[in-house]
Amino acid sequence: NLTATENIGLSVVRPIKIRTSSPIPSATVGSSYNYQLAAIYGVTPYSWSATGLPSWLKLSSAGALSGTPTQSGSVSFNVTVSDSGNPTQSASAQLSLTVQPAAQPAALAITTTSPLPNATAGGSYSDQLTASGGTTPYSWSATGLPSWLSLSTGGKLSGTVPQTGATYSFTVKVTDSESPAQSTSAILSLTSAASSSTYDWNAVTAVEDSNGMLTDALAVGQSGAIERYSSSSSSWTSISSGTSNDLFAVTSSGSDVWAVGDGGTILKSTDSGKTWSSQSVSSQISQICNPYPTCNYLQGIAFSDQNNGIIVGTNETILTTSDGGSTWNYVQGQQPYTQVQSGNYSLNGVVFDSNGDAYAVGTNSGTGTDATILYRPSGSTSWATQNSNVGSGYGLRTIGYAAPYVIAAGQGGTIDVLDTSSSNPTWTVQSDPIANSSSITLNSIGTGGYCLRDGYGFCLAIAGQGGNLLGLGTPVNIGSLSFLSLTSGTTNDLKGVAVLGVGSSYQYLAVGYNDTKIFVTAY
């Protein structure tokens, strides 16, 4: 028997199969799409082909789908994969995908906020406006721009600022590149101020913020300077007053604010000090004060409400209004008007108490010393003097009210207090905590808010020369006030002080010479 042996190799190849399942990942109109198909088994390399593809979609022989969709909807097509075996194997499958609509751009918005950064009078100005959303690039335009300011289509503001300070408002518009285009507008404001100048500030008052709370402030001073403090941004903004006369006093009631000063200047704002108009009665002043050239110095102002107010000044001048300052009436002054008190007196401050009674304080203009206090009961038009009990040589420069106390202060560190709740109210001189106070003049009293210091229930500060700032101390006895020195951090003369705050959070704002503005926590 014969036998033979032979080794035979046998290779078993499993049938090729498309591994990619349907549907495949979705695409988005306008966005590039790429996806790799996959197969298994058979003999690599594979070769791919397709039928029924949309015009935007291509399939490479290596199985890569690519393209950019032009419209949304559902897409179906057939793909075939062939291997490299002999004989060749192939497999087919129907695939589908969804084309999503293009994402809509976010709404176009101007992100630059108002007010814009301040400009410096006489200097160059530049600021880039910004926007978000829509489709870039953007194109900018504006209406109402001041003549010195221009806006490029790229959104850049530029120009050379005039020497005079002012506040400007204008409208800017931005348009995107979408089809159809989106556009939006915003009103922006810009203030120019001679920041290099150093002002002496004479007075300050709390004014309403955007929520109607007394957390903002307004300072007035030399050469008609007005600056407004915003508690929300913790910044000061120069405001055009429309006058170059010195301003000596300022007060507010609701959103109305009044300021008075040299040359018979009377200003009013109805928007918490943002814009001002003149209420000058200079012609009347000239008639009454001639031949007294300093009679037109108006030095104090107070309102019991938004209609009824009093202004006081040199030569015992008193003006009253009952219509919010639209008209002012003289009830006091030099001849032919009868003076309340003989002598050439200067009235420096005025205040109302909660009953509507009015008090005015001053000094003898001839000597600059000796206190005078005038009193007008509520509902009366007549004024009478009250005994200040202040020694000779110490005039009074300021007056304030914190129920039930009327407080006056002035030369020699004098603090004079009247308790209006007493059955027999009498002015009583209080001791002060100032070393060598005989040479110190106290210039301003600020009251308001709710401070818990030793149970008084109100905030009170007195500002004076040499950076002296006083707050409430422990009372010596019922019906009296006592005072302690607060750290002001300055030796500059302080001319005005106000109480700012809301709820249980208050602070004193004191202003004075050499652009002094300081904040001290009230407690």
Report DSSP letters for 471-519, one per residue.
EE---SSTT---EEEE--S--SPEEEEEEEEETTEEEEEEEETTTEEEE
In this prediction, the residues of the chain whose per-residue pLDDT falls under 50 are 282, 288, 291-294, 333-342
Residue pair 97/75 in contact (Cβ under 8 Å)? The answer is: yes
What is the 3-class SS of 295-318, one letter each residue?
CCCEEEEEECCCCCEEEEECCCEE
Distance (Å, whole) CA 227 – CA 241 = 9
State the virtual CA torsion across 137, 143, 144, 150 in degrees, nearest 10: 40
Alpha carbon 234 to its chain centroid, in Å, reads 7
What is the predicted pLDDT for the residue at 152? 96
All domains in the chain, ordered by first residue: 17-100 (2.60.40.10), 109-193 (2.60.40.10), 201-457 (2.130.10.10), 458-523 (no CATH)
**Phi, psi of 436, deg, nearest 5:** 55, 45
**Phi, psi of 162, deg, nearest 5:** -60, 165
Q: Which residues pair with 159 in a beta bridge?
A: 125, 149
What is the predicted pLDDT for the residue at 283? 52
pLDDT in tens, 118-170: 887 667 789 999 999 999 999 999 999 998 899 999 999 998 877 566 788 99
Distance (Å, whole) CA 343 – CA 364 = 7
> Smallest Cα–Cα separation from 519: which of 505, 117, 79?
505
What is the predicted pLDDT for the residue at 278? 85
Give, in degrees to the nearest 5, the angle at Cα 420 between 418 and 424.
85
Give pTM, 2 decimals: 0.62
What is the predicted pLDDT for the residue at 94? 96
What is the predicted pLDDT for the residue at 334? 40
Neighbours of 503 (CB within 10 A): 8
For tokens 């006091």, name the residue: 332
